[in-house]
Amino acid sequence: MNYEKHITVLGSTGSIGTQALDMASFSDYQVDALAFGSNIRLGEEQIRKFKPKYVAVSHETSAKDLKIAVADTNTKVFSGKDAVCEMLEYLHSDVCINAISGFNGLRPTLSAIEKFPRIGLANKETIVAAGEIVMQKAKEKACEIIPVDSEHSAIFQCLEGNRGKTIRRILLTCSGGPFFSKTLEQMQNVTVADALGHPTWRMGAKITIDSATLMNKGLELIEAMHLFAVSPEKIEIIIHRESIIHSMVEYNDRAVIAQLGVSDMRLPIQYAVTYPEREISPCEPLDFTKLGKLTFFSPDRPNFPLLSLAENVAAKGGILPCVMNAANEEAVGLFLQEKIRFTEISDLVSETVNGYINIDHPTLAEIETANISARKLVRNKII
């Protein structure tokens, strides 16, 4: 078969990864390589279906078991914590979709920039923690970073044909999450199951909790600053409960361009692969007559303090976005393990960020050190 596009999917067993593979089936993309952490049951299924040349599994024991399970295939398995970067050395796909969750996606992004003409970037933590370094390196290597995050894909689409024109504002939309209109007091005793009940999107656990605290929007603010080279004052966050408008750009003449669609991540994933073309998609069409109302509100900063924290951190820059991201990953992990309350996430992240001395233009080594030390600070606070 003559495949049009070759793709590599990092984080293939996750929410975005499985949808990326769904798109690969739908559009007949050749899947050159996969990477995941430890879900070898699903990983084996993916290997048998997509027949990739290479697979990287970061969890050593899982990799060992997988090697035995797929010994009858032609897929080479890389294992261990550096497996993804080692595997990327061998690859030349058209697009690398990075849908690894968390800071662990950073090194793979940097390796992919060296080898691929394009990255479809879902892993927002990469840009939050090391935006300057990543964007600079992508420029040097002429690697296109096409956002997969739905809001950033929307902004990217709203900028098309208008690049270089004066942007007045970027309007970054936010669903408000499951606790929209609740007070901090009402959120004291919410459970993990309550926080995982996102109203409009089905996603991995970490980003779903971030959507409940509104930290996700804070991370997205920093992501947008780097991806589109705009200052934080030009980005306005608007609650839009229905998640139909995925974001907007307002130009100097007050024209506002929006991108709309059903809540289906396959659309931005596909666009990151096909850009600047648009191909047939399996997504449902938007039926305006069934939409009813589209509603908009200002975010409730006093009851969702992580949003203001992220706005401050975005304005200060330096090492603080990395520290905030690391503290948040750790605190969300502790909440998911039921070791802290929901409202303690914001306390722990705020205390960690506020106690940190900033470093301007941090190096990669400084970023990696801060990622470890901020997590340690969070863990020490709960002992």
Chain positions contacting Mg ion, by CB under 5 A:
149-151
201 binds, among Mg ion, ligand NDP, none (CB under 5 to 8 A by kind): ligand NDP
The answer to whether residues 358 and 318 touch, using CB atoms and an 8 Å cutoff, is yes
Does 104 participate in binding ligand NDP (rule CB under 6 A)? Answer: yes
| Cis status, amide bond into 268, omega within 30 of 0 | no
- CA–CA separation, 323 and 339 (whole Å): 21
Select the residue interacting with ligand NDP from 113, 127, 158, 207 (CB under 6 A): 207
Select the residue interacting with ligand NDP from 6, 26, 38, 264 (CB under 6 A): 38
Select the residue interacting with ligand NDP from 7, 17, 198, 244 (CB under 6 A): 17
Query: 361: which 2 tokens?
Result: 């233009």
Select the residue interacting with ligand NDP from 8, 27, 39, 79 (CB under 6 A): 39
Of 111-119, 202-210, 322-330, 335-343, the segment contacting ligand NDP by CB under 6 A is 202-210
Which residue's C-beta sits nearest to Mg ion?
Answer: 149
Of 116-124, 159-167, 338-346, 355-363, the segment contacting ligand NDP by CB under 6 A is 116-124
Burial grade of 28 (CB within 10 A; 0-12, 13-18, 19 or more): exposed
Nearer to ligand NDP, 34 or 250 (CB): 34
- Residue of 238, 232, 187, 237 lying closest to 212 (CA atoms): 187
Select the residue interacting with ligand NDP from 24, 31, 112, 125 (CB under 6 A): 125
Does 99 participate in binding ligand NDP (rule CB under 6 A)? Answer: yes
Q: Tell me the closest approach of the beta carbon of residue 333 to Mg ion, in angstroms.
A: 20
Nearer to ligand NDP, 85 or 320 (CB): 85
Nearer to ligand NDP, 85 or 248 (CB): 85
Residues 6+ apart with CB under 8 A from 340: 331, 334, 348, 382
Distances (CA, A) of 229 to 103, 135, 136, 142, 215: 21, 10, 11, 16, 21
Give the x-and-dash track for 329-358 against ligand NDP (CB under 6 A).
Answer: ------------------------------
Task: For tokens 């970037």, name the residue.
Answer: 121
Which residue's C-beta sits nearest to ligand NDP?
Answer: 14
Residues of this chain, 210-269, that bind ligand NDP according to CB under 6 A: 265
| Cis status, amide bond into 276, omega within 30 of 0 | yes
Of 46-54, 66-74, 122-130, 275-283, the segment contacting ligand NDP by CB under 6 A is 122-130
Q: Tell me the closest approach of the beta carbon of residue 199 to Mg ion, in angstroms.
A: 14
Select the residue interacting with ligand NDP from 21, 35, 190, 239 (CB under 6 A): 35
Does 13 participate in binding ligand NDP (rule CB under 6 A)? Answer: yes
Does 123 participate in binding ligand NDP (rule CB under 6 A)? Answer: yes
The answer to whether residues 87 and 78 touch, using CB atoms and an 8 Å cutoff, is yes
DSSP bridge pairs for 77: 55
Distances (CA, A) of 91 to 70, 186, 274, 334: 20, 50, 19, 36
Q: Tell me the closest approach of the beta carbon of residue 269 to Mg ion, in angstroms.
A: 12
The answer to whether residues 119 and 109 touch, using CB atoms and an 8 Å cutoff, is yes
- CA–CA separation, 277 and 46 (whole Å): 27
- CA–CA separation, 360 and 106 (whole Å): 19
* DSSP for residue 104: G
First-to-last alpha carbon distance for the chain, in angstroms, is 58
The answer to whether residues 335 and 342 touch, using CB atoms and an 8 Å cutoff, is yes
> Which residues of this chain interact with ligand NDP, rule CB under 6 A?
11-17, 35-39, 58, 84, 99-101, 104, 122-125, 149, 201, 203-204, 207, 265
